[in-house]
């Protein structure tokens, strides 16, 4: 016959282990919780002043953050890469990229452009120097962009999580964007994205 008293120590230890595991799992889940609307408002309140500072300093017509995200998976298991303009400021009269650039597939031509950006560098695109059969040419024409500057935003794991984009619609940049100059703003944005 089974005597429960003989196994009380084992039951107590097993109960303690199960409780500890569940508590650790709960703590981990709570840390991984999705940001709330309030969290997003705090993040936005940090990002938008940086974008307004950039648009003003460089006399740009549009400054935006383009974030990458996973848009589910193909049946093969390969992830579907998507991008969204999450934050944007524009000069008066300039057409916004949002909401037409919300949750769109990352086009192949954009992936090629991204490959040209060094991890710590800047990618310049000038509409006068782009071939008319290049897909980026059509995009520049649609939004009447004269010059475009793209800068990678990197997370703490060294992965590209977003692009800081700066556009000039009517002229070449008045104050040239130098890697050292924009570095401070880039680092501020990366710090914000690493806090999320």
User: β-strand 147-154 against 160-168: which pairing, if any?
Assistant: antiparallel
Average confidence score pLDDT of the chain: 77
Do residue 27 and residue 107 come from a single domain?
no
Total domain count for the chain?
2
For 126-145, how does the pLDDT look when each residue is reduced to its tens digit (9 = 90+)? 777 666 666 667 777 777 78
Do residue 187 and residue 119 come from a single domain?
yes
Do residue 14 and residue 107 come from a single domain?
no
Model's pTM, two decimal places? 0.71
Instruction: Please give the span between the terminal C-alpha atoms of the chain, in angstroms, as a whole number.
Output: 57
Do residue 26 and residue 98 come from a single domain?
no
**How far is CA 37 from each of CA 34, 40, 44, 162, rounded to the nearest angstrom?**
10, 5, 10, 20
Do residue 126 and residue 114 come from a single domain?
yes
Q: Give the per-residue pLDDT at 78.
A: 77
Do residue 157 and residue 169 come from a single domain?
yes
Do residue 26 and residue 103 come from a single domain?
no
How large is the C-alpha radius of gyration of the chain? Answer: 24
Do residue 73 and residue 116 come from a single domain?
yes
CATH no. for residue 153?
Answer: 3.30.450.40
| Residue among 69, 130, 131 nearest 101 (CA) | 69
pLDDT at 42 over 70: yes
For 174-189, how does the pLDDT look when each residue is reduced to its tens digit (9 = 90+)? 556 666 677 788 888 8
What is the domain extent for residue 29?
Answer: 1-33
- What is the spatial distance between Cα 196 and Cα 183, in angstroms, rounded to a whole number? 20
Do residue 150 and residue 89 come from a single domain?
yes
Do residue 90 and residue 122 come from a single domain?
yes
Q: Phi and psi (nearest 5°) for 147?
A: -135, 150
Do residue 133 and residue 41 come from a single domain?
yes
For 113-125, how does the pLDDT look when each residue is reduced to its tens digit (9 = 90+)? 777 676 666 777 7
Do residue 70 and residue 86 come from a single domain?
yes
For 93-112, how does the pLDDT look when each residue is reduced to its tens digit (9 = 90+)? 988 887 777 666 676 767 76
Q: Give the per-residue pLDDT at 10.
A: 67
- What is the spatial distance between Cα 96 and Cα 85, in angstroms, rounded to a whole number? 10
The 10 Å Cβ neighbour count of residue 194 is 13
């Amino acid at each position: 016959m089974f005597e429960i008293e003989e196994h009380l120590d084992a039951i107590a230890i097993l109960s303690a282990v199960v409780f500890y595991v569940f508590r650790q799992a709960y703590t981990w889940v709570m840390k991984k919780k999705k940001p709330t609307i309030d969290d997003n408002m705090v993040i936005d309140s940090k990002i938008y002043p940086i974008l307004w500072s950039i648009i003003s300093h460089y006399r740009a017509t549009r400054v935006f953050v383009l974030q990458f995200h996973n848009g589910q998976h193909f049946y093969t298991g390969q992830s579907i890469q998507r991008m969204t303009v999450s934050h944007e400021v524009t000069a008066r009269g300039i057409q916004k990229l949002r909401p037409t650039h919300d949750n769109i597939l990352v086009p192949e031509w954009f992936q090629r452009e991204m490959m040209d950006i060094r991890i710590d560098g800047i990618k310049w695109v000038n509409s006068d120097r782009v071939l008319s059969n290049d897909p980026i040419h059509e995009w520049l024409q649609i939004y009447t962009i004269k010059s475009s500057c793209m800068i990678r935003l990197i997370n703490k794991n060294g992965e590209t999580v977003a692009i800081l984009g700066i556009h000039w619609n009517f002229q070449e940049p008045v104050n040239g964007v130098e890697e050292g100059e924009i570095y401070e703003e880039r680092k501020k944005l990366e710090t914000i994205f690493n806090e999320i």
